[in-house]
Structure 1
Amino acid sequence: MKELYLNGAFMPPDEARISVMDRGFLFGDGVYEVIPSYGGRFLGLEPHLDRLDASLAALRLANPLARETWRSVLQRLIGTPPAPDQYVYLQITRGAPPERDHLCPESTEPTVMALARPIKPRAPTVAERGVTCITRPDIRWLRGEIKSISLVASVMMRREAADAGALETIMHRDGQVTEGAVSNVFVVTGDELATPPKGHLLLPGITRELALLLARDHGIRFLEHPIPLETLRGADEVWLSSSTREILPVTRLDDRPVGTGLPGPLWRRIDALYQDYKARVREGHV
């Protein structure tokens, strides 16, 4: 990473500084986005920026940059020529007022930061053996649709998963699946694909939406409806989706196999469609 963007300027990472009074540091008062790029072309840039606007509006923050400025900043960060596969992380906080107070002055200038990092290639073992997850009660706040930087609950859940030798924690509330600590969740029962509906309890993932779009366009039946925890545990297939991990098959859940214990046929089909879509993004055909 040669440079990052901070408050209107590009600079080397070791020169970047923010105030200790920044409300992102003191309160987690801010939002973020993660946008993948393949071959120098962003996948889902506009939906990601739309979601950024929605998160900012929920926190009553104005977007500090115009849409065209965001495009220009993000394109510069991925470089010329760009590295093959990258993601851009951007973060906006409410800024650094002179006093620490839960009520922030409305005139405070926001802090805006963005940087690019490589996307790690998917391990070949994922398609061969899948990944392992655990389930836990959803202990987060009730505004999961906001992509908030206040992520301590997700940090705790990822730690629990790692301690159990798993990749991810799938969460549930009142007997219903919500989402993973850093992912959306899909289940396959028979020939039916299902995912929990959008609402306050989960983040509307851009990869989630793309998976459903690909399913619709290729005749794969799907439903968005509540998924009981027992349905998850008895599913033929379980998937995770996120911008940097794409769509992953879960083959072991709470120390029990999912379905046959191997990546399922519907996952293989949707993954092939997703990889084809990525290839078209790289070639500039999307």
Structure 2
Amino acid sequence: MSRIVYVNGDYLPEDEARVSVFDRGFLFADGVYEVTSVLGGKLLDFAGHAKRLQRSLDELEMANPVTEDELLAIHRELVSRNGIEDGLVYLQVTRGAADRDFAYPKDAKPTLVLFTQSKPGLADSPVAKSGLKVISIPDIRWGRRDIKTVQLLYPSMGKMAAKKAGADDAWMIEDGFVTEGTSNNAYIVTGNRIITRHLGNEILHGITRAAVLRFAREAQMEVEERAFTLDEAKAADEAFITSASMFVMPVVEIDSVKLGDGTPGPVATRLREIYLEESRQAAV
């Protein structure tokens, strides 16, 4: 059965979906996106994703083509039509189609596209029991990483570099400090203290990050938001990443250096359990 996608107000079989070749998302990467996880047919952290979407649009002076309530209804309709039990909903908003010009067009209508990806057993990934291996790469992205734009070429290059090195992902380094992973926020644990980079233009303001830090503090875990170096990370007791699609995932090796005994640590393991439990209960 063909997957049903959403394009500018219409629900269509994916092979019938069309976007203009003049769309600025295609020509300039002039667009933003969000990914919301689905567990048990319900959406995780939807309100947070909707709020961040609006922030990204505002930062780029781009109009939102729908209200938050309308966006929620579209998400739910796609989940229903595609029979998604566990998976993802991807949404993208671009400035729309206009003749190619670097200046923003005055009368372009935003393009809104959504589609689903079925991921059975999304919360039961075996990687959570074995942990991730990461490499370090220089962070050469533009300076506004807090805006969730569709400019993802360098993160794609980073994931390919990790794959070629026999690793799972890459952590990006700027001035000796870890910024984030290619598609996730990065954390280390030292002496039971969770350390993760403070919010700023240098990293994406992760929705899962916010939830996990809240849950950690509620569980009386010590959290420190500051930049940490690559050397600190390699010497840490444990490490992990967070993202909408991987939730909390342990990191067991950085640049071939094993952390602890080379297995997922207790802090990351417990935070994953807490996040999944709490998020399932609050899912919409």
1:119·1:244 contact (CA, 8 Å) conserved in 2?
no
- Name the CA shift for 1:281/1:40 in 2 (closer, same or farther; >3 Å): farther
Unpaired runs of at least 5, structure 2: none
Q: Deviations over 1:181-207 (max 9, x none)?
A: 111001000111111011100001111
Q: Which residue of 1 aligns with 2:23?
A: 22
Using the alignment, how far apart are the partners of 1:122 and 1:39 within structure 2? 10
Q: Which residue of 1 aligns with 2:36?
A: 35
SS of aligned partner of 1:117 = strand
Using the alignment, how far apart are the partners of 2:250 and 2:225 within structure 1? 19
SS of aligned partner of 2:250 = strand
Q: Which residue of 1 aligns with 2:196?
A: 195
1:145·1:204 contact (CA, 8 Å) conserved in 2?
yes
**Superposition map of 1:1-286 within 5 A:** 2-79=3-80, 82-97=83-98, 99-119=99-119, 121=122, 125-281=126-282
- Name the CA shift for 1:61/1:9 in 2 (closer, same or farther; >3 Å): same
Aligned-pair distance for 1:165? 1.2
Using the alignment, how far apart are the partners of 2:228 and 2:162 within structure 1? 21
Using the alignment, how far apart are the partners of 2:125 and 2:144 within structure 1? 36
- Name the CA shift for 1:125/1:43 in 2 (closer, same or farther; >3 Å): closer
1:38·1:278 contact (CA, 8 Å) conserved in 2?
no
Using the alignment, how far apart are the partners of 1:85 and 1:125 within structure 2? 16
Aligned-pair distance for 1:91? 0.3
TM-score, reference length from structure 1: 0.94
2:133·2:253 contact (CA, 8 Å) conserved in 1?
yes
2:247·2:276 contact (CA, 8 Å) conserved in 1?
no
2:4·2:82 contact (CA, 8 Å) conserved in 1?
no
Q: Deviations over 1:5-33 (max 9, x none)?
A: 10111111100111111111111110000
Using the alignment, how far apart are the partners of 1:252 and 1:86 within structure 2? 27
SS of aligned partner of 1:25 = helix
Using the alignment, how far apart are the partners of 2:81 and 2:20 within structure 1? 31
1:187·1:239 contact (CA, 8 Å) conserved in 2?
yes
> Larger deviation: 125-134 or 252-261?
125-134
Using the alignment, how far apart are the partners of 1:279 and 1:95 within structure 2? 35
Matched length: 282
TM-score, reference length from structure 2: 0.95
Aligned residues: CA RMSD: 1.6
2:3·2:82 contact (CA, 8 Å) conserved in 1?
no
- Name the CA shift for 1:80/1:10 in 2 (closer, same or farther; >3 Å): closer
Letter in 2 for 1:118: S
Aligned-pair distance for 1:275? 2.6
Using the alignment, how far apart are the partners of 1:150 and 1:115 within structure 2? 19
2:130·2:263 contact (CA, 8 Å) conserved in 1?
yes
Letter in 2 for 1:117: Q
Using the alignment, how far apart are the partners of 2:245 and 2:267 within structure 1? 21
Letter in 1 for 2:118: P
> Larger deviation: 256-265 or 193-202?
256-265
- Name the CA shift for 1:110/1:161 in 2 (closer, same or farther; >3 Å): same
2:4·2:81 contact (CA, 8 Å) conserved in 1?
no
Using the alignment, how far apart are the partners of 1:86 and 1:92 within structure 2? 20
Using the alignment, how far apart are the partners of 1:220 and 1:190 within structure 2? 11
Identity %: 37
